[in-house]
């Protein structure tokens, strides 16, 4: 769709959704009244900046159903994501919302080149988490054979993949790496598998990790993006050019803001991603602050799609570690580790405070071929890794070399940081 036409569509839809939340959801009405803005002030998509933000805190404050814009009877599905503290964040979906979800999910799967000839193994968890049911809906909507394996039980996953001629694996990128390890010890040859495509998301991953997955599984690995509050997987997808995540902006309008000031960021600048759901009816969200840090690119993609492309999620504004005053993102550590041939792509970060000074320990796993009993060799390797990490992070980490297969593997979203400072 030409950009001008897209903006027209977004303008119309924004007016409708603002009317809906204003008339049907008291917290929105009150907040808009406080900000001195009414639905009549929203004439085009450019007026979106007049509207107040919504945050994760609002979802907690109005837990579980206070932000619905329809009578509860119209809700047909609940999903939830566990927060770091206390109650989960709950999202209610109407049948209209599930239909939109299936449509955008199908759009994602089509962009990866999938059709009804494919066999899709969904190894995201099924349940309150949106990964399993979301990918399931996308796969069924394009008419592919859908294998609802859910997460865990790696041996069985591999057997199913082999026996059913699975062409597509949908799971977290960290679980894809875990499965790749499992495949090495499995009683099948690579030629016996039909696997060619991976649909990976639900956690940040780097280009280096993509290469690692593509090489170890012999597939093309594509990004899928989404969040419980907006809709699960299906908010955005890569295309075969793997050059940014196209957002389904006819349904989810994106903005980038400066996370400190809330002001719109300059074109192309990195900042916090904010979404307004333009078509949802159950729990529409206006200017929802995702805390994800990224940038947007409005140039037409080589694939011909005109939809805006999101850069990789660099981390979350709340995931950023400040260590001895320096901002450190786990994704930076991951990029370095995946580049080093001596290391497995698994790591764990421990931050602590000793005598009022922050400590940063990075546990890395040495590959079998490089692990040695000869101390000088190991000391040299450790120095080399510390040097590489220092050049990217700007601070000196304490590198801890771990034996092969000793860092815990993840079957869902990987937990990679233990910040012990908060406990003190």
Give the interface with ligand DLL as residue ranges (CB under 6 A): 81, 124, 129-131, 134, 201-204, 223-228, 232-233, 290, 292, 313, 316
Residue 27 makes CB contacts below 8 A (sequence gap 6+) with 58, 62, 66, 67
Provide the minimum distance between the beta carbon of 242 and ligand DLL in the complex, in angstroms, as a whole number. 13
Provide the minimum distance between the beta carbon of 389 and ligand DLL in the complex, in angstroms, as a whole number. 22
Pick the closer one to ligand DLL by CB: 41 or 61: 61
Pick the closer one to ligand DLL by CB: 137 or 226: 226
Provide the minimum distance between the beta carbon of 404 and ligand DLL in the complex, in angstroms, as a whole number. 27
CA atoms of 291 and 215, how far apart (whole Å): 31
Contact 290, 274 (CB under 8 A): yes
Q: What is the DSSP letter of 54?
A: B
Provide the minimum distance between the beta carbon of 202 and ligand DLL in the complex, in angstroms, as a whole number. 3
Residue 392 makes CB contacts below 8 A (sequence gap 6+) with 332, 335, 336
Pick the closer one to ligand DLL by CB: 274 or 323: 274
Provide the minimum distance between the beta carbon of 227 and ligand DLL in the complex, in angstroms, as a whole number. 4
Provide the minimum distance between the beta carbon of 81 and ligand DLL in the complex, in angstroms, as a whole number. 4
Work out whether strand 326-328 and strand 321-323 pair parallel, antiparallel, or are unpaired.
antiparallel
Pick the closer one to ligand DLL by CB: 47 or 214: 214
What 105-108 contacts at long range (C-beta under 8 Å, 24+ apart), as own/partner pairs, is: 105/134, 105/135, 105/137, 105/138, 105/139, 105/141, 105/233, 105/234, 106/138, 106/141, 106/142, 107/234, 107/237, 107/248, 108/138, 108/199, 108/224, 108/233, 108/234, 108/236, 108/237
Pick the closer one to ligand DLL by CB: 232 or 254: 232
Provide the minimum distance between the beta carbon of 91 and ligand DLL in the complex, in angstroms, as a whole number. 9
Q: Which two tokens stand for residue 239?
A: 């295309």
Q: Which two tokens stand for residue 246?
A: 């196209």
Decide: residue 320, CB within 10 A, 0-12 exposed, 13-18 middle, 19+ buried.
middle
Contact 121, 145 (CB under 8 A): no
CA atoms of 190 and 205, how far apart (whole Å): 25
Which residue of the chain is nearest ligand DLL when measured via CB?
201
Pick the closer one to ligand DLL by CB: 87 or 387: 87
Provide the minimum distance between the beta carbon of 330 and ligand DLL in the complex, in angstroms, as a whole number. 11
Pick the closer one to ligand DLL by CB: 20 or 56: 56
Provide the minimum distance between the beta carbon of 233 and ligand DLL in the complex, in angstroms, as a whole number. 4
The pair phi, psi for residue 261, each rounded to 5°, is -100, -20
Q: Which residue has the tokens 């590959």?
A: 367
CA distances from 286 to 82, 279, 298 (A): 21, 11, 22
Q: Which residue has the tokens 């796993």?
A: 365
Pick the closer one to ligand DLL by CB: 239 or 313: 313
Pick the closer one to ligand DLL by CB: 40 or 78: 78
Contact 223, 183 (CB under 8 A): no
Cite the beta strand spans of 174-304 per DSSP E: 197-201, 220-227, 231-237, 245-247, 252-257, 271-277, 288-294, 296-297
Pick the closer one to ligand DLL by CB: 329 or 371: 329
Provide the minimum distance between the beta carbon of 413 and ligand DLL in the complex, in angstroms, as a whole number. 7
Residue 314 makes CB contacts below 8 A (sequence gap 6+) with 204, 270, 293, 294, 329, 331
Give the residue ranges of DSSP H helices in 25-94.
Answer: 26-34, 56-61
Pick the closer one to ligand DLL by CB: 292 or 365: 292
Provide the minimum distance between the beta carbon of 407 and ligand DLL in the complex, in angstroms, as a whole number. 21
């Amino acid at each position: 769709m030409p950009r001008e036409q897209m903006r027209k569509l977004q303008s119309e839809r924004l007016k409708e959704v603002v009317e809906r939340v204003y008339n049907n959801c008291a917290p929105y009405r009150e907040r808009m009244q406080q900000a001195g803005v009414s639905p009549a002030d929203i004439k085009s998509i450019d007026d979106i900046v007049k509207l107040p933000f919504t945050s994760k805190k609002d979802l907690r404050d109005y837990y579980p159903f206070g932000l619905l814009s329809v009578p509860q009877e119209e809700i047909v599905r609940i999903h939830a994501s566990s927060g770091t503290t206390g109650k989960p964040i709950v999202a209610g979906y109407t049948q209209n919302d599930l239909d939109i979800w299936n449509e955008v999910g199908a759009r994602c799967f089509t962009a990866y080149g999938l059709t009804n000839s494919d066999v899709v193994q969904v190894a995201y968890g099924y349940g309150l988490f949106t990964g399993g049911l979301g990918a399931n809906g996308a796969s069924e909507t394009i008419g592919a054979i859908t294998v609802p394996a859910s997460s865990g039980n790696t041996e069985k996953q591999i057997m199913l993949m082999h026996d059913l001629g699975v062409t597509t694996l949908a799971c977290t990128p960290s679980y894809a790496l875990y499965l790749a390890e499992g495949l090495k010890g499995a009683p099948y040859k690579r030629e016996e598998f039909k696997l060619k495509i991976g649909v990976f998301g639900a956690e940040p991953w780097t280009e280096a990790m993509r290469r690692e997955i593509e090489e170890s599984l012999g597939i093309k690995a594509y990004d899928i993006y989404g969040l419980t509050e907006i809709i699960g997987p299906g908010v955005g997808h890569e295309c075969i050019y793997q050059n940014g995540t196209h957002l389904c902006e006819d349904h989810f309008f994106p903005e980038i803001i400066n996370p400190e000031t809330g002001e719109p960021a300059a074109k192309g600048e990195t900042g916090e991603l904010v979404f307004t759901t333009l078509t949802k009816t159950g729990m529409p969200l206006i200017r929802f602050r995702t805390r994800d840090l990224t940038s947007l690119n409005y140039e037409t993609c080589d694939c011909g799609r005109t939809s805006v492309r999101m850069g990789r999620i660099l981390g979350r504004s709340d995931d950023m570690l400040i260590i001895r005053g320096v901002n450190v993102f786990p994704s930076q550590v991951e990029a370095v580790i995946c580049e080093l041939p001596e290391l497995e792509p698994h790591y764990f970060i421990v931050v602590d405070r000793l005598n009022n000074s922050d400590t940063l320990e990075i546990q890395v796993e040495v590959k079998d071929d490089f692990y040695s009993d000869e101390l000088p060799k190991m000391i040299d390797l450790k120095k080399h890794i510390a040097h590489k990490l220092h050049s990217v992070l700007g601070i000196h980490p304490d590198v801890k070399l771990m034996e092969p297969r000793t860092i815990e593997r993840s079957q869902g979203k990987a937990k990679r940081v233990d910040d012990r400072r908060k406990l003190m």
